[in-house]
Structures are given as structure tokens and as C-alpha cells.
Structure 1
Amino acid sequence: KRVDYLTTGNRELKAAASQEKANKAAADLATASTASDALKQAKAAVSNEEQALNTRTQEYPRTATIFWQTKRSIATVFVGFLLAAIIAIPLGIMCGLNRIVMACLTPIISIFRPVSPVVWLLIFQIVVGAFFPDPNAHPLFIFMNNSANPLAFLQTNPAMIFSACTVAMCALWPALVNTALGVSAIDKDYLNVAKVLRLGFWSRLFKIIIPSSLPLVFAGLRISLGVGWMVLIAAEALSSSDGLGKFVWDEYQNGSSQSFANIILACFVVGIIGFFLDRLMIVLQRLASFDDGSATA
């Protein structure tokens, strides 16, 4: 009976709740006084209709296995890591090339780098919640969770976004500092040769500065990815965002005879994935730079 309830009854309850929201949105649409209100209610009605249909046709009420949680965590950490790299590398290059920029950003880095991930998590929860007051009707989540989208299996929601933002904020500083250090440590003879050859700024940037600083840039990215993975597990546990962190927290709250074994299993899964992420960064470093990565292997 419990299995029947979980596979059928619970699904029907969720579908009925979504259908009720859709009916309410349709009723509000009929009484909408402005075009913007009508558009908002129409989007809400369509979204809840689709959610009710998806809930009724899915095989299980919720795909919460450790394998799905692992895929969700890996996707979230890469989103946060890429966001951090996009911000950190240009800023690091600017700091390494210009002493004034370095002097301006050093206090900011010194102030915000020690801030706890828990604080960033709470801040991003508030900010993301303000940006997405009605996630079910927001175009971003409708697009990401559309069945035609290959990433729909991740079930993107605000919790995933603020977890990724927390990862990005904590992974930003190692990449930024190492990029600045790598650029500032370039042999001055290289820059002098560039001046003699009258190379423009972009030619110097892509032919001398970036290739010469790649070993330290990748060292920073390697540290950032490790920090991001560690932060993500804690963020998921605290925010109840789907992923390995939430899996560990649910097992802790469950209190069954299998909980301790499942938590130990999750520890090994987290560690093994962290090891392979670290190896991945070393391989990328060897492919992208003249340094074979032996110093950091």
C-alpha cells in the first residue's frame, strides 16, 4: 500500500494541486483588467497545465536516486565554476597588467575572500528569490524544464541557481589571484620583444601574456574547481537543493538502519568525483599550455 501511494497516490495529489493552480489562473485570466495581468495569468495557466500533465505521465513521483543527485551536483558545480572563470580570468589579467587595478582590487579581495559560504548562500537565496518570485511562470525555468530541452532532466529551479552562484562566489578568488600572479610574473624580456616588434595590445595579449601565464591560470582554476565542489555539497545540504549534499542531509534526517552506510557511500562518491575533477583540470592544462603539469600532478 505504501508503494502504491508513493507511485500513484502521491503523483495524483501533485497533479491535482497543479491542475487546481491552473484552474485558478484561468479564472483570474477571465477577470484580468489589464493586458499585463492577462499575460501573466495565461503563462501561469499554461505552465501549471504542463506541470500537471508531466506529473501524471512520469514513471515515479520524483527521481531522487543517488545517480540523479550526482548528475545534478556535477551540473551545478560546472555552472558555478564556469561563471567564476568567466569573471576571474579577465579581472586577473587586468590586475596583472596594471598596478592601479591591482591596488584597487586587493582590498576587495582581502575583504570578501574570507566570507563564509553560508553567508553567500543566504545572500543569494534572498537575491534569487527576489528575481524569480514565481518560478513556475518564469520563461527561464519554462525553457530549461521543457521536455524538448536535453537538460530538462536536471529540473532547474531557483535552488540550483543560488547554489551555483554560491559556488561561483567561493571559487572566484583562487582563480583571480593565481591569474593575476601568473600575468605579473611574465618575463619582462617577452614584453620588451613585443615592444620592439610593435605588437598591438591584442596581439601581445593572445600571443605572449595568456600563453605565458597559462600554468598559473590553470593552477588557480584547479583550486577553484576543488573549492567549488566542496562548497556545493555544504550548500546543497543547507538549502535543500537537489544534489549529493541534500542526499546526505536526507539520510541523516532519516535515521534508518541504512542511513550511516548511505552517508559513507556518499562520502566515497564525493571524494571520487573530486579526484576525477582534479585529474580533468590537469589534462586540460597539459593540452592548453606548454607546461606538462608535472609540477602540479
Structure 2
Amino acid sequence: MGQEIILKQGQNSSFLKPLLLKLTSRFQKKSVLSSLKKTGITVLSILLFLGLWHLGSKALYNKEASFKIEKALTERGQAAADAERDCIASGESSCQPNTLPSPAQVWSSLQSLIADHKVITADKAAFSAKMADVNAKLIAKGKDAIVYTGRASFIDIVLTSIKTVFAGFLLALLIAVPIGIIIGLSPSLRSAFNWFIQVFKPVSPVVWYLLVFMIVKTLYIGDSTDNAFVISFISVGLCAMWATLVNTAMGVSSVDKDYINVAKVLKLGTFQKVFKVILPSSLPLIFTGLRITLSVAWMVLIAIELLAQSQGLGLFVWEEFQNGANDSNAKIIVAMFVIGIIGFLLDRLMLTVQNGVSFNKNEAV
């Protein structure tokens, strides 16, 4: 904007044009160089991370391999130690050290999971085509259709976790924001509810899961439906809602008194005052709470899915750990990166929504 004004002012002075064009070109070059510098630093940090990871995994691999060879030598003699060494060198999966996988192994496992997803998707499509006529007759008779009950692919597992965390986040929003507004409007209610918030806010996700399990199990008693998803998203919502509740109450209670006085002068009703004055002023703090809630929900989801046996990333990680196969550790690392990347994207999504509806524009942190 400033450069355009300078150029327009310089149009009447022909001798300034070369100088202005040179300055504009220099500013553009600085901007490009700054972007390249940031990109270069990011790429270098990624390469450094991968290099350290590779060296670390190689050191751990060699340590465990040496231990296995020494153990064979001590317990069974030189011939057994030589056989163990040859087996490890051959790459045979049965005798490979089970330790931190290298970046190459993790990449290979990711490709394997994607290929597995394609196979399972094809199986689902074939099953649906095969059962189409049968399911049409069952539905016509008012009966439930026969659904595919085979194993879920890694992509399906990730989508299940995302669905669960959004359901839990929505539950947290519907509970925490209204209660936060109500107690934020009244100092007496804030004092009355303070003990409740302080007592239940630090409760572990495991305990919330057990509490929800007790209630849901009783409500659905005699029902054969799988309640894992219901238990998971309610547990996630109750565990993660506290940041939104506290921030909403704080935002509402700290609204500028001048705004409240203007609302009184305009004789706005309670709902008009809340939606036209209080909420817009409280949005920055409310969205800060929502960002924290979404992050917490995504973190506790893994533990809750494991306990609830819900077909998500938490159960996937645990089953791979229990499985102990040659590529299980690599699959766990794949899941770790997926969890981290999705968590980052969820936070960016909330920041984008916040900047879209709030007057205060926050930079990505």
C-alpha cells in the first residue's frame, strides 16, 4: 500500500521513477530472501532431526544385536553366536532386534498401511456389491442390513478418532460455553461454582472414562449395541471442557463496564445484551479456551480409546505394542506422527475460525 502511494506521488517527477523502481525491486528481493531463509532453516532442521533419529536408531539396533549375540555365546556357545550374527546380518525378521525403528522403516510401514487400506477398501466394495440384493430384501422387510465386519484399515481408524474428538469437542462446547456465560454474569454464581470447577478440572481422563462407563453401561443395559464410541466421546468432552468453561466465565466477567452501561442505556434485553455485547467482547478468551479444549481432547482421546476399546488410534497403538511384530514399532511411530500432525492441523483450524469471527487477529503460534 505504502509503495503504491510513493509510486503515484512520483509519477509527476520523471527523474524519481528509476530510484522508486530500484527501491521497490530491493524490497521484493528482501521479501523473497527472507522467505527462502525461513524455508531453508526449516528444511535443515528436518534433515537434522532425521539424521539424529537415524543415528540413534542405528546405535540402539547395534547395542541390542550385540546383546543377542553375547547372550547366545554365553548360553549356547560360539556356534550359536555365529548363527545369531549371520541371522541378524541376513535381515531375517525372526531374529532382528526389536528397538527404535529408523526413518526408512517408518516410511516403509506408512506405505504398507496405505496399501493395506486400498486392499480393505476393495474388499468392502466387493462385499457391498455381493450383499446388495440381500440387504435390499432385508430393508424391505424392516430388518437391519448386513454390514461389513472385517478389520478396519489405518485410514478408517484415523477417521474414527477424528469423528470421536469432534463429537467430544462439540459436547464440551455445548456444556462449557452456556455455563461459562451464566456464571460469568453473576459473581455469586462464580463463587458458588468455583469449588466444583477446581475439584473436577484436574481429574484424570481414566477416571472420567470409568465414571462415564458406569453411567452409560446402566443406561444401555440389555442393549447389544456397541457403546464404545458413545463412552469415548462423552469421556473426551467431559475431560476437555474445563478450559473453555473457565475462559468463557473469565471473558464474560471482564467485559468493559462501559459496554454494559451502553446496553442498559439502549434498554437491551438479557439475550440481546449477551449476543450483541457480551459474547462479541468475550470471543478472544472463549476461542482461546476452545483451542485448549480441542488440544486436550485430542491428547486424552488416545488413552480413552484404549480403555473403551474403540476402533481408533489409541487402540491401534496399544494392539501394535502388544502384537510385537517386526514392523509394530514402526507402525507405532507412524501413528505418533499422524497424531501430532492432526493435532497441529486442528489447532490451525481453530485459529482460522477465531480470526474469522473475532476482531482480534492472532498470529499462528
If the length of structure 1 is used for normalisation, what is the TM-score? 0.73
Query: Do residues 106 (structure 1) and 175 (structure 2) align?
Result: no
For residues 205 and 73 of structure 1, the distance between their equivalents in structure 2, rounded to whole angstroms, comes to 34
Query: Do residues 218 (structure 1) and 301 (structure 2) align?
Result: no
Amino acid at match of 1:64: A
Pick one of 203, 208, 213 that aligns with 1:115.
203
For residues 306 and 285 of structure 2, the distance between their equivalents in structure 1, rounded to whole angstroms, comes to 32
Relative to structure 1, the CA distance from residue 269 to residue 135 in structure 2 (aligned partners, 3 Å threshold; closer, same or farther) is farther
2:29 is matched with: none
1:4-83 paired onto structure 2 within 5 Å: 50=144, 54-55=146-147, 58=148, 61-83=149-171
Using CA pairs below 8 Å that are at least 6 residues apart, which structure has the higher relative contact order?
A: 1
Q: Which runs of 5+ in 1 are unaligned?
A: 1-6, 12-45, 142-156
1:244-255 paired onto structure 2 within 5 Å: 244-255=313-324
How large is the Cα RMSD of the aligned pairs? 1.9
- The answer to whether the 8 A contact 2:231-2:308 is kept is no
Alpha-carbon distance, 1:62 to partner: 1.8
Pick one of 335, 338, 348 that aligns with 1:279.
348
For residues 162 and 279 of structure 1, the distance between their equivalents in structure 2, rounded to whole angstroms, comes to 27
Deviations 1:182-232 (A, max 9, x none): 111111111111112222212211111000000000000000000011111
Question: How many residue pairs end up in the alignment?
Answer: 227
Amino acid at match of 1:116: S
For residues 133 and 201 of structure 1, the distance between their equivalents in structure 2, rounded to whole angstroms, comes to 42
Amino acid at match of 1:286: N
For residues 249 and 129 of structure 1, the distance between their equivalents in structure 2, rounded to whole angstroms, comes to 23
Amino acid at match of 2:322: Q
Query: Do residues 169 (structure 1) and 257 (structure 2) align?
Result: no
Alpha-carbon distance, 1:259 to partner: 0.5
Flag as ranges the 4+ runs of structure 1 deviating above 3 A: none
Alpha-carbon distance, 1:239 to partner: 2.3
Q: Which runs of 5+ in 2 are unaligned?
A: 1-122, 128-140
1:180-195 paired onto structure 2 within 5 Å: 180-195=249-264
For residues 338 and 302 of structure 2, the distance between their equivalents in structure 1, rounded to whole angstroms, comes to 11
- The answer to whether the 8 A contact 1:124-1:166 is kept is yes
**SS state at 2:241 partner:** helix
Deviations 1:76-125 (A, max 9, x none): 11111101100100111111110111011100001111111101111111
Alpha-carbon distance, 1:135 to partner: 3.5
For residues 189 and 133 of structure 1, the distance between their equivalents in structure 2, rounded to whole angstroms, comes to 54
- The answer to whether the 8 A contact 1:95-1:101 is kept is yes
1:205 is matched with: 274
For residues 251 and 166 of structure 1, the distance between their equivalents in structure 2, rounded to whole angstroms, comes to 24
Deviations 1:36-62 (A, max 9, x none): xxxxxxxxxx99x73xx625xx3xx42
1:18 is matched with: none
Alpha-carbon distance, 1:133 to partner: 2.1
Name whichever of 194-203 and 74-83 sits farther off: 194-203
Amino acid at match of 1:54: I
- The answer to whether the 8 A contact 1:117-1:166 is kept is yes
- The answer to whether the 8 A contact 1:135-1:158 is kept is no
For residues 188 and 301 of structure 2, the distance between their equivalents in structure 1, rounded to whole angstroms, comes to 34
- The answer to whether the 8 A contact 1:125-1:162 is kept is yes
**SS state at 2:161 partner:** helix
Percent identity between the aligned chains?
Answer: 48
Amino acid at match of 2:174: I
- Which of the two has higher C-alpha Rg? 2
